[in-house]
Structure 1
Amino acid sequence: MRPDELACANCCGPVSEGRCPVCRASRDQFRRTMGGFNAPLWLWLSILALLVCLLALEAHFA
């Protein structure tokens, strides 16, 4: 679940907009607990997965 899918019980707005202090606190807590989206980590994991696939293909066709 992402913060833009959550609705604030205080102001009935999306938590991602941070309209009120409750929204901002919930959004910050969500980011701390879920870690957010760490693009560099996903980039490195994708590159690693690609290299593993290439090595497997090379070993299969060698």
Structure 2
Amino acid sequence: MSCDHLICAHCAGPVVEGRCPVCRAGREKIHHQGPAGLSPLLVALALLLVLIALIAARHLTGGL
């Protein structure tokens, strides 16, 4: 997510410019979310699903 097109409800200025404390806080929050806003929990769940899929595939093909 990007703050390029967001407008601050407090000062009505672009959030990207950081005109007021509310803009600056919102901009910091957006830019510190990490890559694409992925939380560690979502990454862990995705890895778990991949592991389950690999185990199921190995089981279906007759492997150990």
Q: Which has the larger radius of gyration?
A: 2
Whole-Å Cα distance in 2 between the matches of residues 44 and 17 of structure 1?
A: 35
Can you give the 5+ residue segments of structure 2 that lack an aligned partner in the other structure? none
Aligned CA-pair RMSD: 2.9
Corresponding position of 1:60: 60
User: When the two structures are superposed, what TM-score results if normalisation uses the length of structure 1?
Assistant: 0.51
- Structure 1 or 2: larger helix share? 1
Q: Taking every aligned residue pair, what percent have the same amino acid on both sides?
A: 38
Does residue 1:12 correspond to 2:24, yes or no? no
Corresponding position of 1:41: 41
Whole-Å Cα distance in 1 between the matches of residues 13 and 42 of structure 2?
A: 33
User: When the two structures are superposed, what TM-score results if normalisation uses the length of structure 2?
Assistant: 0.50
Query: How far did 1:49 drift?
Result: 1.4
How many residues in Structure 1 have an aligned counterpart in Structure 2? Answer: 53
Higher RCO (CA-CA < 8 Å; seq separation 6+): 2
